[in-house]
A and B are shown apart, each in its own frame.
Chain A
Amino acid sequence: MKSSSLRLFLLMTGLMVLPSGVLPLSAQQPKDSAVEEKRLLQVLRSDAPAAQKAITCKELAIHGSGAAVPDLAKLLPNPQLSSWSRIALEAIPGEQSDAALRQAAESLRGQLLVGVINSIGVRRDKKAVPILIARLQDGDLEVAAAAAVAMGRIADDEATLALQKALPMVSAELKSSVAEACVLAAEYRLLNGQKQKAAEVYDQVRNADVPIQRIVEATRGAILARDQEGVPLLIQTLRSKEKKLRQLALATVREFPGDRIDTALAAELNEASPERAVFIIQAMADRPQTVVLPAILSAVREGKPMVQAAAIDSLRRVGDESCLPILLTVATGDNTELKEIAKSTLAELPGEGVNQRIAMMLSSAKAGENALLLHLIAQRRVDAVPQVVQALSSADSTIRHAALVALGQTVSLDRLSLLLEAVVQPGNSADSEVASRALRAASVRMPDREACAKQLAMAMKKAAPAKRTTLLEILAEVGGDTALAEVSAAAMSADLQLQDDGSRLLGKWNSVEAAPSLMRLALSGASSKYRVRGMRGYIGVARKFPMPESQRVEMCQQAFEKASRTDEQKLVLEVLKIHPSLEGLSLAVQAQKVPAVKADATVAASMIAQKLGGKGVDVAAIIAAGGMKPVTLKIISAAYGAGNVKKDVTAVITKHAGNLPWVKLPDNSYNASFGGDPVPGKVKQLSIRYVMNGKQGEASFGENSPILLPQPK
């Protein structure tokens, strides 16, 4: 099939997904646009179906030149192909495309004319302005509106002046489009530094009898075009009775340059109703570089609750250390909701001096503030250990507990002993659990985990039995060589509790380094329960961690041979399935000789063989060596392909099927075996229907996978 015919065939049969480069453009081979253009023009000039001409237009958008324009222009009056033609004409640079569109703009009517005018606007063809001015008078409202907007996009002096003149003259139905065009033209001037001219056009629109949205757009432009002189208009807009304009002002505040507007907003806050003040505060807080902070603090102190809430919340973006006293007052006050907002703001309050100030405040805190400050020290990780330590001796358990939590978040390795002592020899038994949690939080974040583990190990030696479990658990979370050695020793110790704790923690160890200790536990643990923990932990290591496949299979081999129960042997087979390798397949095949796991081993071998597909692995011999039983096999049908495009490969499959549930093709590549690629560039599947040992089955295989047919149930 010729490429063009194939292309059409695919289009007409519902092509939905095209791998890049397959169709229809120049993704892989065709890079020479001149050559491509000639080929494409032949299609346009032929009696090819409209579908093919349509896609050809798209290709010409990339490869076409002025030479293609006449043929494309002929399609502009065609209702089916006009839009396709404009895809190319809009994209092809040069005067020829502009001229063709201008010519069409003078001859076409209705929707097709609207499309052509839209394309002229996209190309910003100044030569078309006289035609567009004429079309402003068109009796077809859609045509006139399109012409106006195209003029707004072109935005040269001729077009802009014509739009300004037209605005008061045109019908009410057309006013919105002309105003839209004026705003576009004004924006063009604003972007090009012609602020005064831009403001003039914006002002004309905002004072015209046009829909509110056009006034919104023009007002925004009028404010921005005036630069700092636009502040009064912005504030006036903020006070507007029209909701849309108030909303506009709130948005424009956020993009307005300079700091004059901040001062104006601070003043406005005093005049605003609570409802408006909330929105003004939110806008002020979105200007962190220039915000007038005292005005917001004043709102925190004196505003209505809704204003206070907004002001407190805004401080998380624009506050600093000067806000701490008032926030602490609110956070320890009576208003439940404001308290929560203040606490949350305190946790995030920006400013370099905030943490230092919090530490200082703890020393002289009022009653009721201590716990909050300690909580903040923990949340913000404030370096204030000396002040926190003082709080450990408080008679108030709430303060002591808050201090312990704060230490957990802030203490460094050289002061870890504070928390170790609190765990091993608590001054108050009520603090024990909190201290343990704090020690855990501190330990896992220590940069030098070996040094941390050594301190924990030392503490274990003098700890009461109940505390040793806690310390051992923390050691396991810390990890590393020292911790592993301690936990391993505990698992193999004579102490019953340590055996239990150690084997439990070792069984869940999260690194490859634990493998030898786990195998030792698996073989020599004090009880079968611990030996199972060891073996399962060992298999888990093989399952979870990256390592060379040969090492993984060796671990699996060890585990399979040493496992005393079939449950663990089956887990080994699971590992082999998750990490398929040739060595693993060999092990799975060997495992088929163990009757208790034969069925699982067969499944594992099949799955591994499937996953090794496409890698050129010859697995037939390995499977045969495993003693796979002969079967009676009949192939009913086989198809190879993708989507709706399938090739019948029944004969090839039948020829190579034997008396094993295994079909060995002449080549590892399906395409080579089946005489070519039926759907180039797409991922294909092989589907086989068959009868095995009298039972009908069906199986599918990814491209180039080994064909191992399952026994139908």
Chain B
Amino acid sequence: MLRKSGDAAALENQSSRRQFLKKSAATAGVAISAPTIIPSSALGLDGAVAPSERIVVGGIGIGRRGGYDLGCFLQQKDVQFVAVCDIKQKRRDAVKKQVDAHHSNDKCATYRDFRELLDRSDIDAVLIATGPNWHATAAMTAAKSGKDMYCEKPVTKNISQSLILADTMRRTSRVFQAGTQRRNLPHFAFACELARTGKLGKLKKVYAHPAGMQAMMSGWLVPETEPDAELVDWNMYLGPAAWRPFNKKLLDGFNFEKGGGLVGGGVLEWGSHCVDLCQWAVNDCPPPVEYNAPKDGELVAKYENGTELIFREKGWIPLGSCPVRFEGEDGWVEAGDSGKMVLSSPELLAGREVEEIGGYPATFHVRDFLDCVKSRRQPKGNAVAACNAHIACHAANIALHLGRQVKYDNVNHEFIDDEQANRLRSEALREPWRL
């Protein structure tokens, strides 16, 4: 159970100088809030969205998480959602109903095969919210079709996919936003900025919460009668995953083949958020070069400059899920999904006010994506950032899986003198899929 925030501060802080930050804190400084957008009226549009400025969006794999993301897209006035693809008929129909009601028309098209949706030249961007099994393959197929994309996480199943993703987005000149929405929340952004800009002094340790360091996989279950493909398209559901017979228990796309079958679990599921924030704190530098086997609930990795990335299960100030902590020689900061953060000294605020936004909404992240679709800037959760964070997670998982230290070479993208680890860098896709 979450303790009251006052307790959280007190538990951690010996000193009353360490203050728990509140939105209401009266300061005269610069407000750190969700990203601001130049009002359209300032752009001469009087609040309206010119048809030429509308972004036409389609959705691929819109289940529970996708439904949330879809809501964030539909909140944006410049989004015209026109199509949905899902391997489940019920979901296709449900999304169409929601979208049609929103746009007051009946034009949301439905597809079972996402390639048909990608063939539509009128669609600018896609929301990819399939299970993790499909993320990288669907994203790269979309990129080659000329679509920008907001893609849920974990984005990749292994190190090789992470590298190819970054290369593909660069080559195809696509705007890619990983579903790492915390990068667009003020308190996480501020915490990362403190670390990145040296306000904490020389950075010594960054902590991430993996929430369950264990390998996950989906095996073959007892074969069941495969449903009509129009209802549930099992072949498309498997997609790039190695073949196995239909069993409805495997239709939980969220957990199916998470992390590639051999290594995944919490390190990928939560790491793709909190390791991603740690990566931001170290200025999105290449991932750590050394990963040790876990000990006493901690897996310690080291960056080239000696800074440690620590996957830690316990010992967090109760600030909500997905906590991160950054420790420098001169101070520290810890933040979590409550929207709150704790600082080693209020002076780190330098008079600034940080808006508290709890519940990790994706609205701002979606807006960042849409703005970048127009400007062609790189969004906060761009492919290179996602690539580095995911490599850190995959490499940690490989150390976890092998039960020993592994060392990673960021230039050649290989583990040093470690064939077993190197063979876990990639995994063949089921035919006909390729990256």
The residues of A with any CB-CB pair to B shorter than 8 Å are 10-12, 14-21, 25-28, 33, 50-51, 54-55, 58, 61-63, 79-84, 86-87, 89-93, 111-112, 114-116, 118-119, 121-122, 142, 146, 149, 180, 183, 187, 211-213, 216-217, 220-221, 244, 247-248, 250-252, 254-255, 274, 278-279, 282-283, 286, 304-306, 309-310, 313, 337-338, 341, 344, 347-348, 375, 378-381, 405-406, 408-409, 437, 440-441, 444-445, 447, 449, 479-480, 509-512, 543-546
Range class of the B interface residue count: 35 or more
A217 touches which of B173, B218, B375, B400 (Cβ 8 Å): B173
Are A81 and B243 neighbours in the complex by a CB distance under 8 Å?
A: yes
The answer on a CB contact under 8 Å between A449 and B428 is no
Cβ contact within 8 Å between A348 and B262: no
Are B220 and A87 in contact, CB atoms less than 8 angstroms apart? no
Chain B residues near A254 (CB, 8 Å)? 376-378
B222 interface contact, C-beta 8 A: yes
A380 to B38, CA, bound (A): 22
Known contacts A62-B424, A121-B434; A543 and B214 CB within 8 A of each other: no
What's the nearest-Cβ distance from chain A to residue B393, in Å? 14
**Is B213 a contact partner of A544 (Cβ separation < 8 A)?**
no
Which of B64-72, B78-86, B346-354 forms contacts with chain A? Answer: B346-354
> Which B residues between 48 and 69 are near A, CB-CB below 8 angstroms?
none
> How many residue pairs between the two chains, A and B, have CB atoms under 8 Å in the bound complex?
237
Task: Answer yes or no: B401 CB below 8 A from chain A CBs.
Answer: yes
Determine whether the beta carbon of A213 is less than 8 Å from that of B427: no
A274 to B265, CA, bound (A): 50
Roughly how many angstroms separate A112 CA and B13 CA in the complex, as a whole number?
A: 61
Q: 17 A–B contact pairs at CB < 8 A?
A: A20-B400, A21-B403, A62-B423, A87-B242, A89-B428, A92-B423, A115-B431, A118-B428, A211-B146, A250-B376, A304-B44, A305-B42, A305-B43, A378-B351, A444-B346, A544-B6, A545-B10
CA distance A440 to B30 in the complex (A): 18
Chain A residue at smallest Cβ distance from B175? A251
Of the candidates A92, A347, A437, the one whose C-beta lies within 8 Å of that of B26 is A437
A58 close to B262 (CB less than 8 A): yes
Q: Write out, one digit per residue, whether chain B residues 14-46 have a CB within 8 A of any chain A CB (1) or not (0).
A: 111101000000111110000010110111100
**Contact between A379 and B242 (Cβ–Cβ < 8 Å)?**
no
- A-contact bits for B391-413, CB 8 A (1 contact / 0 none): 00000000011110000000000
User: For the complex, is B359 an interface residue (Cβ under 8 Å from A)?
Assistant: no
Expressed in whole angstroms, the Cα–Cα distance for A339 and B434 within the complex equals: 52
B43 touches A278 (CB 8 A): yes
Q: Which residues of chain B (207-221) have a CB below 8 Å from chain A?
A: 213-221
Which chain B residues lie closer than 8 Å to A306 at the CB level? 42-44
Closest CB in chain A relative to B111 CB, distance in Å: 19
Q: Does B295 contact A (CB under 8 A)?
A: no
Q: A18-B215, A82-B431, A511-B16 given as contacts; is B376 within 8 A of A310 (CB)? A: no
Flag if B244 contacts A54 (CB, 8 Å): yes
Whether the Cβ atoms of B428 and A381 lie closer than 8 Å is no
How far, in whole Å, are A58 and B216 apart by their CA atoms in the complex?
Answer: 14
User: In the bound complex, what is the Cα–Cα distance between A55 and B263 (angstroms)?
Assistant: 14
Given contacts A254-B376, A347-B30, contact A122 B243 (CB under 8 A): no
Contact in complex: A341, B6 (CB < 8 Å): no
Lowest 7 CB-CB distances: which A-B pairs, in order?
A115-B431, A479-B16, A213-B146, A544-B10, A51-B220, A250-B376, A83-B430
Cα(A25)–Cα(B41), bound, Å? 60
Does A282 contact B145, Cβ atoms closer than 8 Å? no
Question: How far is A91 from B421 in the complex, measured between Cα atoms in Å?
Answer: 11
Roughly how many angstroms separate A149 CA and B173 CA in the complex, as a whole number? 19
Complex contact A83–B172 (CB within 8 A): no
Contacting residues, chain A, for B347 (C-beta < 8 A): 445, 447
Q: Are B220 and A220 in contact (CB under 8 A)?
A: no
- Please pick, from A54, A212, A221, A341, the residue contacting B220 in the complex, using a CB distance under 8 A: A54
Min C-beta distance of B24 to chain A, whole Å: 13
Residue from A12, A16, A378, A406 whose CB has the most chain B CB atoms within 10 Å: A16
- Indicate if B261 sits at the interface (CB-CB under 8 A): yes
A16 touches B29 (CB 8 A): no
Residue ID in chain B nearest A112 by CB atoms: B431
* Chain A CB within 8 A of B429 CB: yes
A114–B214 CA distance with the chains assembled, in angstroms: 34
Return the chain A residue nearest B172 by Cβ. Answer: A217
CB of B420 within 8 A of CB of A20, answer no
B428 touches A119 (CB 8 A): yes
Given A62-B420, A544-B6 in contact, is the A338-B42 Cβ separation under 8 Å? Answer: yes
Among the interface residues B173, B247, B432, which one has the most CB atoms of the partner chain A within 10 A? B173
Residues of A within 8 A of B217 (CB): 15-16, 18
With contacts A17-B214, A544-B7, A544-B11 taken as known, whether A344 is within 8 angstroms of B351 at the C-beta atoms is no
In the complex, the chain B residue whose C-beta lies closest to that of A337 is B42
The reply to whether A441 and B427 contact each other, CB–CB distance below 8 Å, is no
The residue in chain A whose Cβ has the minimal distance to the Cβ of B261 is A58
Q: Which of B28, B41, B172, B220 contacts A379 (CB 8 A)?
A: B28
Across the interface, name the chain A residue whose C-beta is closest to B10. A544
Give chain B residues whose Cβ lies under 8 Å from the Cβ of A79. 243
Q: Is the CB of A14 within 8 A of B221?
A: yes
List of A residues within 8 angstroms of B314 by Cβ? none
Task: State whether B215 touches A20 (Cβ < 8 A).
Answer: yes
Report yes or no: B420 in contact with A33, Cβ–Cβ below 8 A.
Answer: yes
Which residue among B39, B261, B346, B429 has the maximum number of chain A CB atoms within 10 Å of its CB? B429
Docked Cα-Cα span, A306 to B39, in Å, equals: 10
A residues near B433, Cβ cutoff 8 Å: 118
Give A632 to B7 CA distance when docked, in angstroms. 41
Asked whether, in the complex, the Cβ of B351 is within 8 Å of the Cβ of A381, the reply is yes
Interface pair B28/A337, CB less than 8 Å apart? no
Question: Do the beta carbons of A187 and B402 come within 8 Å of each other?
Answer: no
For B10, the chain A residues whose CB sits under 8 A away are: 510, 544-545
Determine whether the beta carbon of A379 is less than 8 Å from that of B351: yes
Residues in B neighbouring A282, C-beta threshold 8 A:
375, 377
Kindly list chain A residues whose C-beta atoms are within 8 Å of the C-beta of B428: 83, 86-87, 89-91, 115, 118-119, 122
